[in-house]
Structure 1
Amino acid sequence: MNEAGVRGDAQETASNRAEAAEQLALAKLFETFGASRDVKKNAFIFRSEEESQEIYFVQDGLVKISQFAQEGQSITLFLRHKGEVFGAAEVLTGQKRQRYARCITDSRILSIPAASFIGLLRQHPDALYALTVANARRLLQTQRYVETLVSRPVAWRLAQLLLQLGVRSGKETVVTLPLSHEEISYVIGCSRQTVTETLGRWRDDGIVRYEKKQVVIFDTDAFEARL
């Protein structure tokens, strides 16, 4: 590996360590001061136009942040994974909920009342710093997401989403699909038919095994190299 590659790997490792430390600081805050509840798949955590009364942390599971379009369609904007905070923006800006949050899988959610949250951040500067950096990362991710929708082909966008959701073991990556094809199409900016056709083409080419709720990528490195 050349010098630039070594530097790139070192920077990525340092970034991953920093992100893990930030998640740990937020996890400790919510585990110490938050209330825990188990939320079933498809249950709402909050709905649009509700008062913003709590901030949430995904201790386990997967949550989608969505909104309804004018035609009544549900558009998934963000996914919140284990170790991530959500619902803070409206609390910190004093607004009602702009979107709704719903569990994609059975999840365990920790919550802190809005009235307590700001005071806790003042008392725990490590958590305040972690939340600030997490929000900055999300802003950069949103910018990259917009650039991706404009410049990258659908197959690339779908592949990146699958790799994000999947669990790698050896060469294979197993993706248990928590989203319908229609929801995936909203996330990556295409039609439902295009999602189905792309998965079907990869299956016919022998790249993946594709069933109703699962995709197995046979050779993850080769799959990424095709993108």
Structure 2
Amino acid sequence: MPVDLRWHISSGIAHPAGDGTPWCRLAHAVICPAREAVALPSTSGLAGLRRELALRTRRLIDVGAFTPSVTPHGAAPSQDACRPARPIVQLLYVRYIAAHPVDKIQCVAQTRHRDRCTQTLLTPDSLAGIWRLVPATAVKGQLALPAQVMALYDLAALPYGEQLRWRMQRCSVHAAAPSAADLAMAEWEPFDPLVHHAHIQCRLPTRGRRQPPGGPAHHGARP
């Protein structure tokens, strides 16, 4: 077995391979034939095992012993499947987990009517971040979870003032009005790959807008 795959994290629990039992534990996504193969050099030696599992699955399907779950013909895939409910966002060199989808993060400032502003941070006129696949770590350079990447909404290319606006969780109007009080606390939570393992998405969101041809890099795919 590849050395760097001899343990893995599942629901925040580390499972070693050599734990004295006859079983060899591997992350499910590494060998599941129904999933896209993880593109890592260390997984190339598992190709034979994936093929064997694929053949065994096919035999079980042919004899009626196993019925895989399939999407009904013509049915649209779930729109929320690749749209993180609590996305991981990088801004001001820190990774946070948001309380809402990127396009639903609401301004926390108080309006003149003494209620909370209903504007969102991301608007058609504001600069957008870019979705990236990065190693599943809390900070850049930290040891990543084995064979795992995660979708990250990266705001690092935005000007400092824009990143600060996101960190303060204010819309463009209230970011320019520092005298306006906050009616709620900013909902950013420092990201921890073990604590927030259930919210890690291994694929990029599919509900993104296309980047205009020749557009600047920080006008990347919006959620």
TM-score class normalised by the smaller sequence: under 0.3
Quick check: which has more Rg, 1 or 2? Answer: 2
Q: Which has the higher helix share?
A: 1
Q: Which has the higher strand share?
A: 1
Q: Which has the higher contact order (CA 8 A, sep 6+)?
A: 2
